[in-house]
Chains A and B, each alone.
Chain A
Amino acid sequence: MDANPKMFDVDACVRPTGVHRSVYVETAIFEAELTRIFERSWVYLGHESQVSEPGDYYATRIGRHPVLMVRGQDGGIRAFLNRCLHKGTQLVAEGCGVGAKALRCPYHGWIFGLDGALRTIPARAGYAEGAARPGAAEFALRQVTTEQYRGFIFVRLCPEGPGLLDWLGPLTSSLDNFVDRSPTGAVEVAGGVLRYEHACNWKFFLENTLDALHPMVVHLEAARAARQVAAGLPSTQATGQTLSTFELQALAPFAGSYTFYDEMGGRALPNGHADLGGAASIHSAYDEDPQYLQAMIVGYGEERARQILSLSRNNSVAYPSLMFKAPMQLLRVVRPLAVDRTLIETWHFRLKGAPESVLARTLAYSTLVNSSAGMVGPDDHQIYRQLQSGLTASQIEWVDMSRYADEGDRFPDGSVAVKGTSDAMARGQFAAWRALMRAE
């Protein structure tokens, strides 16, 4: 599959309590990851609500492949390589479109149906009989394998491999919690997207979202500034139900103690997936809108509603491409661009049946934390940049991931319950990395 598979030794890159620095800085490894990881895994493509009507489409990239998902006239959602079968032109620009009747290549005008079939060639003369003609299977848009779980659509570029449910395993309960937080059990994309380019390897982002040893160092400054400003407020304002107050509530836990983060716990799961938080999270002490609580009780009954809301998984990772915050109704898509460039997209969701205040809170959180002009994200990004730079020091080879090695309670579903500050989640990512990079 790779031009030169002998350029590095996968087994020599990962050991039980650490990884070799080359996995973050070597271009040859990055190029192999695009093939072996991003083509073999289930990679998050989008949400069904992004293509709610026939003819709606959404185009993005999965690894090095431009991919288009489109809802057909039959209501089904299909995904295709976003590349004309004629000369190879990308058919539609990245982003979304609505109500297309067909897909027309902007170069020579070949027209494809929403089901991918070649419908029309403007000038057919000269093509051999049985070659480029409407309906020819050889010239149909190349469909790629998709499966969805509760509306979240994943793509697997490699035709062979495990099904999505097998791949996600126990992580499905975190996606369940994302959707179950809607009083009607349905969510939809809303409130726009943030596209933030990071000058670092994609893996730093995924590891950091499960790293509970950094908030009290990297984000102390944001929490301290918030505390300082809060101290100067009149007391009525400091306890009022305003969005501003939500933002103070949102920043405060970033300075939480090591004990706070250890006790929130986490799960290391098969295939590189994991959660940070559970019993508690940085989101679990927020005030909830009483109308939202009421809607949840109406939707589920009091016991079930409390059960759904008491599970607070701070950050969950569906390796290798997706981080999501079930308690905050947002997800972040990891798009590797180069060994030291990664695009992070943040998408937000409306809980159908919930008051609008819930979406407003999600958006306020993202503006504060995930924006490239925010109070939290740029500080993480600066650390990633310094990791990328520090790891060029070739005389020191290993990156440590030994914290709480071999600790944790193993469950029959393959999950391991660990302390929040454990390196188990990062070790799990690299166990998956190694398995995918090795597989023939």
Chain B
Amino acid sequence: MGAPGPESVDVEVTPPSAWPGSGALGAVRGWLAEEGAKGALIAAASTVAVFGLALWAVLTSENWQAVRAQFFNLENFAEAWPEVLAGFWLDLRMFVIAQIAILLFALLVAVIRSLRGPAFVPLRLLAVLYIDLFRGVPLILAILLFGFGVPALDLPGVPRSPLFWGVTTLVLSYSAYTAEVYRSGIDSVPESQRSSARSLGLTQWQSLRYAILPQAVRNVVPALLNGLVSLQKDVALVSVLGVREAVRAAEIYTSRTFNYTSFVAATVLFLLISVPAARFADWYSARDRARRSQMAT
């Protein structure tokens, strides 16, 4: 599984660019402004040279014709598309449900972790234990363990569907990371805000709810968006449980026809969502940064 895991959740976002211009375009535009016409010529020439050379290397390679027939066959693409699309629709639904559950559950864990006072020690410990465990296990392994393990227990009243346990594991794993994102947001709100709220007679909970959390969440929206982009791809991991989402559907097509174009179809579908989502996350964090620097002056 080469898919990047939720490790990317709390990584700082990539450099900003103007929405809707893509990151690459934005970079080129900025560079143009600096370097002028002569620079533009050099940039165009070297871009054409680099990409042209790469393309030429692929297209003239000995096996290109075979690869083209195996991976880029239009007929196979059209044939596989409906099943892969149906699978992708399931991916999208899993993604939306899991994302909502993650945002809520992770917030709960983060709040528990940031509670003060000796009475909350057991709860805090539980939260830390949970976060450590789920951050320490590869997502694919957690999905296999829960997806095959829990149904095998055959507990009364517990769902046995691999789909259910796949999504649940995604929620549990991503929530562990997302809780830490929220917590960094809570920690980023100055202590004086808490004093200020408490001094007005608000309880610890009210201070969190009305003074701290709104600021904390606003501070981490860019990081949360990054997690969202990452989850959108990772839902495909539940295919290992045999859930018939896009990747699984593509696999089934491949095993039937010995043609891999269905994987390309799945790739196209994921990119259609993840690229705009990544651009949006970049645009939002650039805007957020601008807002902050304006506030600081």
Query: Do A and B assemble together?
Result: no
User: Residues on A close to B: CB < 8 A?
Assistant: none
Point out residues on B near A: beta carbons under 8 Å: none
